[in-house]
Amino acid sequence: MLRALLVALAVSPAALAGALQADQSSGRLEFSATQADAKFNGAFKRFRVALEFDPAHPDQGRLDVTVDVASIDTQDPERDEILRGPDFFWAEKYPQAVYHAGRFERAGAGWRAPGELTIRGVKKPVPVTFTIAPAAATGPATMKGSAGLGRLAFGLGQGEWASTEWIGDAVEVRFELKLQPAG
């Protein structure tokens, strides 16, 4: 009993010590949105991810994502210009979107991070579901996940763009990352 406790105390901080990292060179951060009733895909080309995750201690750890919103790329320069502008991300004033989760929960065969997303200075709860392999991730690991959010809750689409008749509110975010130990 005592020995088990000591092992737990010894293992738990050790498991959390090594954060795993990824960025645009080792992963993809993509999204789908709807314009004029047609779904299209886009991506962010600059972002950083840090993960501290121990499946034995899901109530501890963290998932931190920082996205350079000006790196948005929908393969349409006109649309990208509008998205970077003040009616959407307002990249000049709010250059980064930030995600933070401080714990994890089991979700079916994978995991759920009940974290918060900040865009344009607006912070809202956005749960992220993901799978990670190998699960006891202290070394390289592959993480795949998704999240759904409503763009208007973050003020993405001001003025005429707030209409959901031509620009859907729902945005689906997907990511796939090859995480590596930090340092």
Which two three-digit tokens encode residue 180? 């590596």
Distance, CA of 97 to CA of 118 (rounded, Å): 6
Q: Kindly list the distances between the CA atom of residue 31 and the CA atoms of 130, 139, 172, 176, in Å, as whole numbers in the listed order.
A: 15, 27, 5, 12
Q: Which residue among 3, 36, 59, 183 contacts other proteins (CB under 8 A)?
A: 36
45 lies in the site for other proteins, by CB under 8 A: no
40 lies in the site for other proteins, by CB under 8 A: yes
Tokens 């933070």 sit on residue: 100
Among 2-10, 45-53, 132-140, 157-165, which window interacts with other proteins (CB under 8 A)?
157-165
C-alpha closest to that of 181 among 50, 13, 4, 12: 50
Q: Which is nearer to other proteins, 74 or 118 (CB)?
A: 74
Q: Which residue among 41, 133, 134, 178 contacts other proteins (CB under 8 A)?
A: 41
183 lies in the site for other proteins, by CB under 8 A: no
Q: Which amino acid is at 108?
A: G
What character string, x for contact with other proteins (CB under 8 A) and - otherwise, covers 54-83?
A: --------------------xxxxxx-xx-
CB of residue 175 to other proteins, shortest distance in Å: 19
148 lies in the site for other proteins, by CB under 8 A: no
Distance, CA of 125 to CA of 115 (rounded, Å): 6
C-alpha closest to that of 121 among 101, 95, 148, 94: 94
- Applying CB under 8 A, the residues found at the interface with other proteins are 35-42, 74-79, 81-82, 160-161, 163, 166
